[in-house]
Amino acid sequence: MFNLNIRRPIGLDIGQTDVYAAQIQEGRGKFLVRELMQVKIAGPSDDEALGAALREIAANENFSGKRAVAHLPSQDIFSFPLSFQINEGEGLEEAILRESMEFLPFPVEEAVLDYPSVVAPSDGGDGEYRATVVAARRADIEHYLTILARAGFVVEAVDFQVSSLIRLHNYLHESGRDPIVLCNVGGTRSQVSVVTRDNILAQLGVNWGTERLIQKVQVNLGLGSDERQARILLKNYGLVYEDPESFGQIADEESKDTGRIIHQLLIPLVEELVYELHKITGYVRAEEDYAFFDGMYLYGQAALIRGLEHYLAKRLNLRTESVNPLEKFSPLEGGDWPDLAEGPPFALALGLAMRTLRWL
């Protein structure tokens, strides 16, 4: 239900090469986009560049207020599944803390833990709880919060990427009982999750993104530093060779040859993503006893690669859809509205912006 009195925060999605910012407002029965903004950065480890990007966003008067919800860069987040039992006299949090020590790459005293999904034991089962645990170094969180505060933001919460993506996906689609795969493709790193309506079954961070594809096209086609032309080729051709109907719509032979060349360049890299998708779906089938997946949804920069959804659907035998979230939002009256084609990379920022903070 929509509450017109709730004010939504600015969602700040800090990535490797960009910061995406979004703020929404509740209309009557739907969300309205107040503002979207993208600022490129050299990398989140460059504090000066990140601070400058955040100050630029904070200075945008189309955003309302300075209260924000943020994502830390994905390389600073650790996620792992746990299966555990609660010992006598022990609480849930104590049990998760105990079991997490084995998986953390740093001392537990330095960690901040969250568990966005916990499944209680079933009646007659082995008494094991299952949880998805998210961790980050406390020092890293404090470091980013300091940069955000110096830029003028008041950060009310740090969110987990898959939680934001689920929040957005549930607004865009009806959720069924069978698991689905959510894949958010980034520039250098992607997030793959298998979720049901109520639980996160598996989560995987993958060092795979569009930057390597762009670079391979640039190098092999002699484009030098012309990243823009490489992006156009990915958007126009991508993996369209895999879709006979779309490929047949390309009229001239020269363009068809270009499509074949781009296809040959991309396939070895795309197969790396296919391997990770097989790995996570295989894990869920084995560990969670799910034989059927309802589908896969591609978010983020996946839309940059024409035909990616057709290729993945064929390779995984799984219905696959590329999602542009702006198709289900409307602009605030009088506000600027970007080209719809620019919408997909704002997925995580929009999911962040949908988080309810009732004290705002």
- Closest C-alpha among 141, 175, 173, 174 to residue 159: 141
- pLDDT tens digit string along 123-177? 666 678 888 899 999 999 999 999 999 999 999 999 989 899 999 999 999 877 8
Give CA–CA dist 228/18, Å, rounded: 16
pTM above 0.85, yes or no: yes
Give CA–CA dist 14/143, Å, rounded: 13
Give CA–CA dist 70/158, Å, rounded: 5
Contacts of 245 (CB under 8 A, 6+ apart): none
Look at the domain 210-321 and name its fold: Nucleotidyltransferase; domain 5 (3.30.420)
With pLDDT > 90 as the criterion, what percentage of the chain qualifies? 59
Give CA–CA dist 309/304, Å, rounded: 11
Contact of 204 with 193, CB cutoff 8 Å:
yes
What pLDDT is attached to residue 1?
45
What pLDDT is attached to residue 245?
67
In the numeric block, the tokens 């910061």 are attached to 19
What pLDDT is attached to residue 360?
45
Domain boundaries, the chain: 10-76+138-174+325-353, 78-137, 210-321
Tell me, yes or no, if the two domains 10-76+138-174+325-353 and 210-321 fold the same way. Answer: yes
Residues of the chain where predicted confidence (pLDDT) is lower than 70: 1-6, 123-126, 244-251, 334-337, 358-360
Which amino acid, one-letter code, is at 121? Answer: P
CATH class of the 10-76+138-174+325-353 domain in this structure: alpha beta
- Tell me the CATH number of domain 78-137, given options 3.30.420.40, 3.90.930.12, 3.30.1490.300, 3.40.50.300: 3.30.1490.300
